[in-house]
Amino acid sequence: MQKLIQIIEDDEDIRDVIEFILQESEYEVNVASNAKEFKINLFNTLPDLIVMDVRLPDGNGLQLCRQLKQSIETRHIPVIIISAHATAEEASKQAFADDFISKPFDLEELIKRIEYHLA
């Protein structure tokens, strides 16, 4: 069975590239451009892993990640924060993220990190 990855990224170009690369790597992918869409997707199906931007038009990815990690229903889901603005320290200390990737990022490195967290 394919692993489901949820992408939350407001930049359409970045979101499309990540979605394409993950589908080529044989993952099932849900995409959301904001926190509201993500919450609707999450209500319908829990993903196996989440890739989340920090700056969203209707919320803060660090706060959203922290909420996920504090919930019994979602704390087990690995979250990879991607950002050009936040730091790895902020992602781990403030949001309890499982991993952090700085933008711009290497797509192969993203795939390697996803594979690591899904292993």
Q: Which residues, in sequence order, are bridge partners of residue 80?
A: 51, 99
- pLDDT score of 83: 87
Burial of 97 from C-beta contacts in 10 A (0-12 / 13-18 / 19+): buried
pLDDT digits (tens, 9 = 90+) for 3-47: 999 999 999 999 999 999 999 999 999 999 999 999 998 888 999
User: Quick check: 91 pLDDT over 90?
Assistant: no
pTM of the model: 0.93
Could you list the beta-strand ranges (E) of the chain. Answer: 4-8, 28-32, 49-53, 55-56, 59-60, 79-83, 99-102
Model confidence at 76, pLDDT cuts 50, 70, 90, reads very high
**3-state secondary structure (DSSP) of residue 71:** coil
Length of the chain: 119
